[in-house]
Amino acid sequence: MILADKIINERKKCGWSQEELAEKLSVSRQSVSKWEGAQSVPDLNKIIMMADIFGVSTDYLLKDEIEPSETVSQVSNDNDSIPPVRKVSMEEANEFMELTKYVKDRVVWGVMLCILSPLTLIALLALNAYNPSIISEDTATVIGIVVVLLMVCAAVFIFMIFGKKANKYNFLHTDDFETAYGVTGMLKEKKARIETKNNMKVALSVILIIVAFIPVVIAGFLNASDAATFVTVDVLLVAVSAAVYNFIKVSSENAPITVLLQEGEFTKNSKRSTKKLEPVRTAYWCLATAAFFAYSFITNDWGRSWIIWPVSGILYVVVAAIAKMAMKIED
Residues 173-188 have pLDDT tens digits of 888 888 877 888 888 8
**Residues contacting 308, CB < 8 A, separation 6+:** 288, 291, 292, 295
In one-letter notation, the amino acid at residue 127 is: L
| pTM, 2 dp | 0.58
Please check the confidence at residue 274 and state whether its pLDDT lies above 90.
Answer: no
Count CB neighbours of 147 within 10 A.
Answer: 18
At 68, the pLDDT band (50, 70, 90 cuts) reads: low
Please check the confidence at residue 74 and state whether its pLDDT lies above 50.
Answer: no
CA distance 207 to 226: 26
6-21: average pLDDT: 87
pLDDT value for 80:
47
Phi, psi of 28 (to 5 degrees): -85, 160
Longest CA–CA span in the chain (Å) reads 99
pLDDT, tens digit (0-9, with 9 covering 90-100), for 128-156: 998 999 999 899 999 999 999 999 999 99
In one-letter notation, the amino acid at residue 259 is: V
Alpha helices in the chain (DSSP H): 3-14, 18-25, 29-36, 44-54, 58-62, 72-79, 90-116, 119-130, 137-163, 171-174, 183-221, 226-261, 268-299, 302-305, 308-327
pLDDT value for 71:
46
| pLDDT more than 70, % of the chain | 88
pLDDT, tens digit (0-9, with 9 covering 90-100), for 208-238: 989 988 998 898 888 888 888 889 988 999 9
What end-to-end distance do the CA atoms of the chain give, in Å? Answer: 44
Find the helix or strand (DSSP H, E) in which 177 lies: strand 177-179
Please check the confidence at residue 243 and state whether its pLDDT lies above 50.
Answer: yes
Q: Are 308 and 292 in contact (CB under 8 A)?
A: yes
CA distance 86 to 175: 9
